[in-house]
Structures are given as C-alpha cells and as structure tokens.
Amino acid sequence: MVRIAHAVLTVRSLEASREFYVDLLGMNVLHEEPGALYLRGVEDREWTLKLVQEDHARVRHLAYRVAGEADLDALVALAERQGLPYRWEEELDRPRLLRLQDPFGIPVAFYHESQKHRWLLQDYHLHRGPGLQRVDHVNVMVPDVERTMRWYMDELGFRLSEYTVDEQERYWAAWIQRRGGVHDLALTNGAGPRLHHWAYWMPDITAIVRTCDILAGARQPERIERGPGRHGVSNAFFLYIRDPDGHRIELYTSDYVTVDPDFEPIRWLRDDPRRQTLWGAKTPRSWFEEASDMEAFDGGVVPAVAGDLTGIPVHVI
C-alpha cells in the first residue's frame, strides 16, 4: 500500500460540478467523456477525482495505489479469506483495478498500473483558481472507529498518527497513514459508512484564503461550511467547502511528517476545544451530521448505521 489515490463520486449535474471544480477551484481536466470528468491538482501526475453524472450523489469508490501487482494478489487473498466481495474493474488508464467492499461496507479499490501525465507544478502560467496541488487524504464516518482502524492497520499496514478518545478512552476518531504524512485515511465517529470529506493539499495558507474570496466573488459563500482555521489535530490549516451536490471537500496545508518508525501517536480528548480548531472556534452542526452516501457492491446505497458513540461533541455552533 503506497497512498490514497483517487475518488469516484457521482453527481447530479456535471455542468454544475464543472463550474465548481474547474471554473472556480481551477482543477485541471485530464480527460472528459460523455457523463464523466477526470480531474487533478497541479502536482498530481494522474487523475485524482472522477465525477460521474447520475441521478444521485454518492461515493462510487475510494482508491489506493499499491506498490506492485503482487500486492493486488495479496488483497485478493485477503478478500477470499475474509469473505469480502470483490471484482476486477477498469478505470480509463488503470487497467487492473481491484474493487472490493471492506468489512465495514466502504467501497474501496486498489491499483498499481496507471498512466502518468505531464506534471503541471511548475507550469505556473497554466495554474487557475486558488491552486489545488495534490490529493492529500480521505475522511470516512464510521460507527465503530476502533474496529475499522484496527482492520486497516492489521490488514493493510496503516500506522496511527493521531487519535481522539472520550472520557472512557473509547476511540472517537483516528488518523492513519501509509506515506509518512499525518494521514491517508481519517476515521470519524458518526452514522456510516459515509464519506465525510475528500481533501487536497494546498500550496500555502494564502491559497486557502483565496478560495474563500473566489467563492464570495462568485456569490457562492454558502459553499463555505467551516474555516478557514488551524486544526489542533494534524496542525494543518484548513477550509471545508461543499460542492453543488453536498460532497464535502477539504483544502489543507502545513501538517508534519511521521516517517520515523518510533513515532509516538498523539492523543486528544474528544471535548478538548483545541482539538478541532486550535483557536477554539466552534464547528457547525452540519459538519458532524452531513456526509455522502456510499455505493453498495451490487449497486444501491450502503445503509448508514449509528454506533454507540455517535453524537455531537460540545464545541458546536
């Protein structure tokens, strides 16, 4: 397992999505075909977000890149051993995509082979909008954070960087990683599985503030849900925005590295006001309650289930 790699989201209007992701956020269109757009940030050498026109807005799958074909064989063996549904799919320039449903109902996919494209990072004259740079992480709401976290750590080799517990030391959220940053995957307590957000790394804080100015200029301030601000967890500077279908996108920058093998995970108490926002700002209720549905293996929606700890922390507007 190398890293988080792409998301495929369904949207109700590809034109409304194009206006949001391409015209306002400035994402680069790598490929388009009737009913689908393949997008990337300026550092992404591959597409990292595919939008598909449907009559509903859901998560088709979340994909991770693996180091080689042998890793795909190992994942097939894992799926066989644990009775997880799986099949082979193809996505544009990814001829062997292993699509499976994890034990918690999250639609995931894994691939190695993919076509690389010319880097745009230093083609500054082609940059548009606030400058989304590269895919950074995904955050999934699940009803049992600890059980989900253990599976990803035990079976897929993820490592823990930060975690949140309640007064009884029960896991409320976890940030786990493969590539030496704070996280490729965050797990947050809530009715799920549902996609909480898909996140892009930004070149700097100014680019995040500029996103707010661009959305305000376009008379779409309602797309700004939370922030900008500084997270306690991860130390990242952040902004949460909602696309025309309500899919939540985080723009994120300035976290830290976790590559040392003896890295000590950082523990937070759920109701510590510095955890969510270091500055103590409260979080809108929608941020804890709203998320995107996920597709079941044979179509339809994975039912969202609430867990024992599902509820709203205290620092809410």
Query: Nearest to residue 249, comparing CAs of 276, 224, 283?
Result: 224
Least distance from C-beta 137 to Fe ion, angstroms? 6
Cβ proximity to Fe ion: between 174 and 199 the closer is 199
Helix H, strand E, coil C: the string for 123-149 is CHHHCCCCCCCEEEEEEEEECCHHHHH
Cβ proximity to Fe ion: between 181 and 244 the closer is 181
Do 233 and 162 form a contact (C-beta atoms < 8 A)?
yes
Least distance from C-beta 252 to Fe ion, angstroms? 6
Say which DSSP state 163 is in: E
Span near Fe ion by CB under 5 A; candidates 72-80, 82-90, 114-122, 136-144: 136-144
Positions 55 through 114 that interact with Fe ion (CB under 5 A): none
Do 39 and 18 form a contact (C-beta atoms < 8 A)?
no
Cβ proximity to Fe ion: between 139 and 283 the closer is 139
Amino acid at 58: R
Would you tell me how many other CB atoms lie within 10 Å of the CB of residue 63? 25
Residue 184 touching Fe ion (CB under 5 A): no
Least distance from C-beta 226 to Fe ion, angstroms? 11
Least distance from C-beta 156 to Fe ion, angstroms? 19
Candidates 17, 139, 164, 253; binder of Fe ion (CB under 5 A) is: 139
Candidates 102, 162, 250, 295; binder of Fe ion (CB under 5 A) is: 250
Least distance from C-beta 84 to Fe ion, angstroms? 26
- For Fe ion, what does the binding mask look like between residues 190 and 219, x meaning CB under 5 A? ---------x--------------------
Distances (CA, A) of 79 to 65, 147, 297, 300: 17, 17, 13, 21
Rg (CA), the chain: 18
Where along the sequence are the contacts to Fe ion (CB under 5 A)?
Answer: 139, 199, 250
